Amino acid sequence: MLSYAALAILAVFAIGVLLSALAEALPNRPRLAPVLGAILALMASSQFVRSSGASSLADFVDTDVFDDGLRRSLPPRSVVLVHNPQTIFRFWGGEAEENNRPDVTMIPLPLLTYPSLVDRFVTDEPELTPLLRSYVLDGTLSVPELQSLAALRPVYVEMDVRVTQDMMDLLVPEQLYHRVLTANTTDTDEARAMHTHATLWGDLYQRIGRPIENHTRTQLIWRHYTDSLYFAAVGDTNAALRTVAAGLVLNPHARELQMMQEALKAATPGEPIDVTPFTIR
């Protein structure tokens, strides 16, 4: 469970990063960064006081259920490429509280354009340089660079509408992410991963409280939708339909899920479908 103390630690960390970025972005106005940081800190503390009284820590119980697959159970020295801001802050907050996976490197893709953030990563871990530099230049993950890094360390990509179809062919579901395949991955390995993924979701639903609260419901729907993109793209029609159905149970009116279901029903079973209309370039 993520405590308010951990959130406070996270806020301090975020303000520190922001101060550093502002100082580098405004070298001729060195006093401006601390002033802006102080204003942001006051705003954050004010919001914290208002929120802490109105919020219950129980709201975070179900989110904590996700932490095994998002952080705790990852292999040593994993690299995780994350798109979803909620996943980013959940990872930082959980690690601020538990500090049990300092070996895992989480790359917050939406934040890589912030000044010097990429430099900080590559200084500490030079093997990340080709992948991160290409991402900043091209705005997308490079398939060759992903494969090269995966030969050195376990690499995971958070499934998202920004993941291209050609990249999906290089991924297999593992934990709550998708792992980049290496050259020695076999069909048996992929089949085992699919089975393990289904088992993981069954266990996750067993651990989630009832009734499902709104934040958890939103996360589940989004993850079911992005998983359906992957399964549809690689031609696992049955898995895609099951995943879509799970999302529609939570929200029968979700238009994206309805559209995906229609596309899957019209497709040839076992054949990949073009998921480009469902992704963002």
- Residue 158: per-residue pLDDT: 97
How many domains is the chain built from?
Answer: 2
The reply to whether 183 falls in a domain is no
Residue with the bigger pLDDT between 210 and 119: it is: 119
In a domain, 92, yes or no: no
Give the whole-angstrom CA distance, residue 223 versus residue 65: 14
Range of the domain at 258: 210-278
pLDDT of residue 55: 35
What confidence tier does 64 reach under pLDDT thresholds 50, 70, 90?
A: confident
Q: Residue 146: which residues within 8 A CB-CB, separation 6 or more? A: 131, 155, 157, 167, 170, 180
Contacts by residues 199-206 (CB-CB < 8 Å, ≥ 24 positions apart): 200/69, 200/175, 200/176, 201/246, 204/65, 204/66, 204/69
The answer to whether position 177 is within a domain reads no
User: What is the per-residue pLDDT for 169?
Assistant: 87
Indicate whether 145 belongs to any domain. Answer: no
Q: What is the mean pLDDT of the chain?
A: 81
Q: Does 189 reside within a domain?
A: no
Reply yes or no on whether the pLDDT at 24 is more than 70: no
Residue 158 lies in a domain: no
For residue 243, name the pLDDT band (cuts at 50, 70, 90): very high
In a domain, 240, yes or no: yes
56 pLDDT exceeds 50?
no
Q: What is the mean pLDDT of residues 213-226?
A: 92
pLDDT at residue number 156: 97
Alpha carbons within 13 angstroms on the beta-carbon side of residue 207 total 15
Within-domain flag for 82: no
What average pLDDT does the segment 154-179 reach? Answer: 93
CA atoms of 6 and 161, how far apart (whole Å): 30
Q: Kindly indicate the confidence band of residue 61, based on its pLDDT and cuts at 50, 70 and 90.
A: low
In tens, the pLDDT along 69-123 reads: 999 999 999 999 999 998 999 999 999 999 999 999 999 999 998 888 999 999 9
**Residue-level pLDDT at 151:** 94
Whether residue 27 is predicted with pLDDT greater than 90 in this model: the reply is no
| pLDDT, position 10 | 47
